[in-house]
Chain A
């Protein structure tokens, strides 16, 4: 992480932009909602500061966790505040459930599928930009406090250090739709990413 220069982070931001664009398109197509995905942070973040990115350690969120396999290993987390998650489920299966707890299997499956499509789009764009394979797992679903939802991802990375390289995009559609898409590469994959960024000019 320390070997990433400002220029490398800029190049990584450009790659992240391509990912965000693709994810935005996928999300709009699936939900017909006017969502925007904006790249926010592309930098190392201390583990203790990651929950704040998601709205704070106690913020209730729906979390979709995708493990990434292939040339690069990573974790992707789509974290949606509950009203956003409900709105997206309602867009997929109108009129939608009363609450997240009241979601039936079909609705949970739909939301999981949304996480799958959005992360596939994002990872596909990254894969093209970095010339590396990035293969997503089926998303796993959780609904709880943001700190509790993200900490297992940080534990895995904790074997190699105390901070994570975070590529963060914020999901927005006016005032009432929010959320975050985080991509956190496995520390062992960072040298591969660095090499790929330096090999080819930024898209």
Chain B
């Protein structure tokens, strides 16, 4: 949780048991570079300790973007896939009150838009946990769950 990694193909990257946290996977198909971050929060509070880069939507996106470019990836080729942000406990959320998962999703999607990274797939929301495995060779993300058939985006 709160971590991120950047890998060249061939490599598989995974996050297990994702609930309200949000996983951001970016893929650069030219150099076949994948990057995955496990985001807990939108942004650090000004007076709080910073913590690892992968923890916050804004720093995570900056870190995976920077990490990809650093090893030769090209920003304009990058695509992103977003997974998670579920609401696990209790009754369905109401429209007037954003859940932690929704708040994280909003921050991640805004961050990707700000950086101009194209969104190529999403598997978000709901009330079930997910495990995702991303393949840096194909850019495909496979999502499994205890409550749903496996899905690929």
Contacts and interface: CB of A to CB of B under 8 A. Distances in A.
Contacts of A162: 2, 51-52, 55
Contacts, number: 97
A148 to B, nearest CB: 2
Interface string B75-102: 0000000000010111000000000110
B18 interface: yes
Contact of B100 (A140, A145, A155): A155
Name the prevailing secondary structure of the B interface residues: loop
A57 B41 contact: no
**Most B Cβ at <10 Å: residue of A144, A150, A156:** A144
Nearest to B55: A158
Interface of B: 1-3, 16-21, 40-41, 45, 48-49, 51-52, 55, 86, 88-90, 100-101, 104, 128-131, 146-147
Nearest to A50: B1
Interface of A: 47-48, 51, 56-58, 60, 63, 65, 140-142, 144-152, 154-156, 158-162
Given A58-B16, A154-B40, A48 B3 contact: yes
B51 A161 contact: yes
B146 A144 contact: yes
24 contacts: A47-B1, A47-B40, A48-B2, A51-B17, A58-B16, A58-B131, A140-B90, A141-B90, A142-B88, A144-B19, A144-B147, A145-B16, A145-B19, A147-B17, A147-B19, A148-B18, A148-B128, A149-B89, A150-B19, A152-B89, A158-B40, A158-B41, A161-B49, A162-B55
